[in-house]
Amino acid sequence: METTEQIKDMVRQKYSEIALQDKETNESSCCGSGACSTEVYNIMSDDYTRLEGYNPDADLGLGCGLPTQFAQIKQGDTVIDLGSGAGNDAFIARNETGETGKVIGIDFTPAMIDKARVNAEKLGYHNVEFRQGDIEKMPVTANAADVIVSNCVLNLVPNKEGVFREIHRVLKPGGHFSISDIVLVGELPEKIQQAAEMYAGCVAGAIQKSEYMALIETTGFQHIILQKEKPIIVPDDILAQYLSAEEITDFRQSGTGIYSVTVFAQKSAAAKSCCGPVCCQ
């Protein structure tokens, strides 16, 4: 990994390739778009198929949780989905908001936006829209959303604090988020941290769980709740692409844990709107 822009360009390229494939093809490769024989992305995904509003055309198997299941979305809410991909979480959120609500999906990969818009048109969802943009600088006005959801996306963003500040800006006072993401307990081997495929697969971009939770608090959120946590076990055949057999053994014995977490937090009902380069608290 080098500069922030290089990371973003790499992620955009990988997810553009993924957008052009179906879920079955993605599940047969570790990088979703390459000639690998195993998985990185899909070892983390949860089963969406039993959730109301699920649409198989929008499910690329790229998530690491079920944030919409925990998001406490109500009829008539305005919901924003960060890193909306082909629309999977956005369509499930729309089932909760109903026709009186609104769902906005944001993704910075044009191919994903195109795919999501086609899916929305097929479903006849006229209160679901998809906007191309960077979630570090959302194309949304302040105090616009009742709920924000995101599924295994913040790991792909180098400036995670910037995203949480944007979430705080865009939520209405009293609004909340439910976000699924990957966090670490312990340090990943350097070779994994530097691997582009592991970054795009949400592993190498993970930060410490304690740091992740602290970022949420320091950006002004309250009522922070860890809604779900599960361990992620990266198979040896994937690790073997980056580590020797001895290094894999050392990694397994190091105590380092990779976890999928779903976190809830609320913006204070008394929070002020953003009034400059730094949002007021």
Model confidence pLDDT, tens digit, residues 196-216? 566 555 676 889 999 999 999
Percentage of the chain lying above the pLDDT 70 cut: 79
**Within a domain: residue 270?**
no
pLDDT, residue 18, reads: 67
Q: Domain range for residue 20? A: 6-263
What is the CATH classification number for the domain harbouring 100? 3.40.50.150
Do the domain assignments include residue 271?
no
Report which listed range, 35-39, 76-80, 106-110, 238-242, is most confident: 76-80
Q: Which of 97, 98, 78 is nearest to 175 (CA)?
A: 78
268 in any annotated domain: no
CB-side neighbour CA atoms (13 Å) of 64: 32
Report the alpha-carbon distance of residue 45 to residue 61 in Å, rounded. 6
For the chain, how big is the Rg over CA atoms in Å? 18
Lowest mean pLDDT among 21-30, 45-54, 93-102: 21-30
Check whether 17 has a pLDDT greater than 90. Answer: no
pLDDT of residue 64: 87
More confident residue, 183 or 275: 183
C-alpha–C-alpha distance, residues 112 and 116, integer Å: 6
Q: How far apart are CA 27 and CA 11, in angstroms?
A: 18
pLDDT-based confidence at residue 63 (cuts at 50, 70, 90):
confident
Instruction: Compute the average pLDDT of residues 223-250.
Output: 91
The strand pair at 78-82 and 145-151 is best described as parallel
Q: What Å distances lie between residue 269 and 71, 144, 281, CA to CA? A: 18, 14, 11
Q: What is the dihedral of CA 164, 167, 168, 172, to 10 degrees?
A: -160
Instruction: Specify the pLDDT at position 1.
Output: 46
10 pLDDT more than 50: yes
Is there a contact between 204 and 188 (Cβ–Cβ < 8 Å)? yes
Overall average pLDDT of the 113-140 stretch: 96
Query: What was the pLDDT predicted at 278?
Result: 46
Min mean pLDDT across 3-12, 108-117, 186-195 is at 3-12
Whether 249 has a pLDDT exceeding 80, the answer reads yes
Q: Which of 212-242 are b and which e, b meaning 16 or more Cβ less than 10 Å from the residue's Cβ?
A: bbebbeebbbeeeeebbeeebebeeebbebb
- pLDDT of 33 > 90? The answer is no
Res 104 pLDDT > 50:
yes
User: Higher-confidence residue: 277 or 237?
Assistant: 237
Residue 90 placed within a domain: yes
Q: 276 lies in a domain?
A: no
Which pLDDT belongs to residue 281? 38
* Residue 95 main-chain phi, psi, to 5 deg: -60, -30
Question: Does residue 146 register a pLDDT over 90?
Answer: yes
In a domain, 50, yes or no: yes
Residue 279 lies in a domain: no
pLDDT at 73 > cutoff 50: yes
In a domain, residue 212? The reply is: yes
Give whole-number Cα distances, 96 to 4, 27, 71, 118, 184, in Å.
36, 28, 10, 21, 31
Q: Write down the pTM of the prediction.
A: 0.84
What are 277's two structure tokens? 């380069």
Phi first, then psi: give them for residue 179, nearest 5 degrees: -125, 130
Number of domains in the chain: 1
Predicted pLDDT at 165: 97
